């Protein structure tokens, strides 16, 4: 389609688009559109043909003997804490499997609230208990490691399952049973995760920004599940086999994960515990699945600041986690990961650049051949992103007229953020906690300087190449 648009522009506006331009943009456009179409087709195939068979198998499986919840909270309001734990206990009672809930809290008042809820709960399976673990102020990873070690000491029966979830996410009705029974029925699957349907605090624009992200997530998760692999095991709610979650290497990956960078040395992972748990499962050769009919409702609210600064702060954390884990996933190779998931890892590296070729080329060509080029490009953006969002609506059931504009914002700004964090992977920060990585000493300043210089050189070379390309 990109090829056709360029050819049309060259005919109607007498723009001297060369054969090199047509070939280059034709290849890139064909790749991007065919890749997107493949994801959409795979998502529909998984959701409507493959997953119903998986659900049928789950209906014939035996329940796990015991469940272990690890729920981490950071300054969660009492009313939300009440809703989260009330739903957890209700789901445990409905499922009928004894559970040990390890509640990692930061406020002593939370302990009394959780204890009261346990006393008020009805029909809990015998053996269900709640263990309150006060956090030591060393971050989420440390709290999760403490909880997993405590769980390990309890020697979970074979076939038990571990649920890692955030303390600001509310379980959908029946979702615990749906997720656990799929895991119980698939012997080669080590972990599963569920659909996210956020409850958003904020304006309509903020709500639709989150909704579009979840629609994209739903499509990609379904597509990857066709290969029985995922790109992340979401920290909001994921279920693991207990033997995986209690293994020494898994606990070490959660608490002290790090990567080796060719220029920056050893980088300790601060954020991205869900990427660490995912990689630990992937590295050991387990498959993973997405459960589209099980739902978690994370309560979302943008960090302080305007919409632009808040969304870029969140994307910086999310894409930083992706960049830091991407290289080691690629290093595992297609034989270990599967060819399609491995190509997705490679595409994550390439798409941050290809998404910028369109707007950068439109700007360069506009200086040479007039504003008509840029206006035509904007029309193309509106039409193309509208079609993408309509296709997303087919797989996720969600659409809004704002989606095409939000999608384009996410593609362009997201690509810029990905490029920046790819040169500064050592810089990490929680968006709500006052915790960050990348110290402010002289060595850190030198690393930052080298990152800025390298990034500037690469970006200048890309711009010069585009300008020369347009002139040719």
Q: Is 306 helix (H, G, I), strand (E, B) or coil?
A: coil
Find tokens 């943008």 and name the residue: 302
Q: Hey, where are the domains in the chain?
A: 2-42+345-471, 63-307
The token pair at 92 is 């445990």
The token pair at 121 is 């709960």
Q: Are 61 and 161 in contact (CB under 8 A)?
A: no
Return d(Cα 388, Cα 395) in angstroms, integer. 11
Other C-beta atoms closer than 10 Å to the C-beta of 448 total 17
Q: DSSP letter at 74? A: S
pLDDT score, position 377: 85
Cβ-in-10-Å burial (0-12, 13-18, 19+) of 63 comes to middle
Angle between helical axes of 140-153 and 248-256 (0-180°, round to 10): 160
Residue 67 CB partners (closer than 8 Å, separation 6+): 92, 95, 97, 98, 99, 100, 160, 161, 162, 163, 176, 180
Q: Is 68 helix (H, G, I), strand (E, B) or coil?
A: strand
Superfamily of domain 63-307 in CATH is Spore Coat Polysaccharide Biosynthesis Protein SpsA; Chain A (3.90.550.10)
Other C-beta atoms closer than 10 Å to the C-beta of 234 total 23
Return d(Cα 252, Cα 34) in angstroms, integer. 40
Return d(Cα 243, Cα 398) in angstroms, integer. 37
Return d(Cα 469, Cα 128) in angstroms, integer. 67
Residue 339 has φ and ψ, to the nearest 5°, of -65, -50
The predicted-structure confidence for 334-362, as pLDDT tens digits, reads as follows 999 999 999 999 999 988 888 888 888 77
Q: Are 280 and 253 in contact (CB under 8 A)?
A: yes
3-state secondary structure 129-196: EEEEEECCCCCHHHHHHHHHHHHHHCCCCCCCEEEEEECCEEECCCHHHHHHHHHHHCCCEEEEEEEE
Return d(Cα 263, Cα 258) in angstroms, integer. 15
Q: Are 83 and 170 in contact (CB under 8 A)?
A: yes
Return d(Cα 313, Cα 431) in angstroms, integer. 7
Return d(Cα 305, Cα 54) in angstroms, integer. 44
The token pair at 338 is 């599967």
Other C-beta atoms closer than 10 Å to the C-beta of 46 total 25
The token pair at 234 is 């979401």
Q: Degrees (nearest 5) of the Cα angle 281, 284, 288? A: 40
The predicted-structure confidence for 110-141, as pLDDT tens digits, reads as follows 889 998 999 898 899 999 999 999 988 888 99
Q: How far is CA 213 from the centre of its chain?
A: 9
Q: Is 400 helix (H, G, I), strand (E, B) or coil?
A: coil
Q: Are 205 and 401 in contact (CB under 8 A)?
A: no
* Closest by CA position to 92, among listed 122, 124, 120: 124
Q: DSSP letter at 123? A: S
Beta-bridged to residue 200, according to DSSP, are 300
What residues in the chain have per-residue pLDDT under 50? 1-7, 9-14, 16
Q: Are 133 and 143 in contact (CB under 8 A)?
A: yes
3-state secondary structure 189-256: EEEEEEEECCEEECCHHHHHHHHHHHHHHHHHHHHHHCCCCCCCCCCCEEEEEHHHHCCHHHHHHHHH
């Amino acid at each position: 389609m990109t090829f056709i648009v360029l050819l049309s522009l060259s005919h109607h506006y007498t723009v001297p688009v060369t054969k090199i331009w047509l070939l280059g943009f034709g290849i890139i456009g064909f790749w991007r559109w065919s890749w997107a179409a493949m994801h959409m087709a795979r998502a529909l195939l998984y959701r409507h043909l493959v997953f119903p068979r998986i659900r049928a198998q789950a209906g014939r499986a035996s329940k796990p003997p015991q469940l272990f919840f690890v729920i981490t909270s950071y300054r969660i309001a009492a009313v939300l804490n009440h809703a989260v734990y009330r739903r957890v206990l209700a789901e445990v009672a409905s499922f009928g499997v004894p559970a040990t809930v390890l509640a990692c809290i930061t406020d002593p008042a939370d302990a009394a609230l959780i204890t009261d809820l346990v006393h008020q709960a009805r029909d809990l399976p015998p053996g269900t208990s709640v263990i309150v673990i006060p956090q030591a102020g060393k971050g989420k990873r440390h709290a999760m490691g403490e909880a997993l070690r405590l769980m390990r000491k309890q020697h979970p029966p074979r076939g038990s399952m571990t649920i890692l979830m955030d303390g600001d996410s509310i379980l959908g009705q029946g979702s615990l049973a749906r997720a656990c029974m799929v895991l119980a029925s698939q012997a080669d699957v080590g972990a599963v995760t569920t659909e996210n349907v956020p409850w958003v605090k904020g304006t309509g624009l903020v709500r639709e920004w989150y909704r579009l992200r979840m629609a994209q997530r739903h499509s990609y998760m379904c597509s990857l599940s066709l290969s029985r692999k995922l790109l992340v095991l979401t920290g909001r709610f994921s279920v693991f086999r207990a033997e995986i979650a209690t293994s020494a290497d898994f606990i070490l990956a959660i608490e002290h994960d790090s990567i080796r960078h060719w220029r920056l040395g050893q980088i300790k992972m601060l954020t991205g515990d869900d990427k660490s748990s995912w990689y630990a499962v992937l590295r050991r050769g387990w498959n993973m699945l997405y459960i589209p009919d099980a739902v978690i409702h994370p309560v979302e609210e943008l960090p302080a600041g305007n919409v632009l600064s808040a969304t870029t702060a969140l994307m910086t954390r999310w894409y930083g986690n992706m960049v830091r884990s991407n290289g080691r996933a690629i290093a595992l190779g297609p034989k270990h990961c599967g060819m399609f998931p491995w190509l997705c890892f490679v595409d994550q590296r390439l798409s941050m650049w290809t998404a910028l070729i369109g707007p950068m080329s439109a700007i360069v060509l506009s200086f040479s051949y007039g504003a008509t080029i840029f206006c035509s490009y904007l029309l193309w953006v509106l039409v193309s992103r509208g079609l993408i969002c309509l296709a997303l609506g087919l797989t996720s059931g969600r659409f809004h007229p704002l989606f095409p504009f939000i999608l384009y914002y996410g593609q362009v700004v997201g690509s810029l953020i990905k490029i920046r964090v790819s040169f500064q992977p050592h810089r990490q920060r929680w968006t709500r906690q006052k915790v960050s990585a990348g110290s402010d000493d002289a060595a850190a300043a030198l690393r930052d300087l080298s990152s800025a210089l390298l990034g500037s050189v690469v970006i200048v070379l890309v711009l010069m190449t585009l300008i020369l390309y347009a002139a040719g």
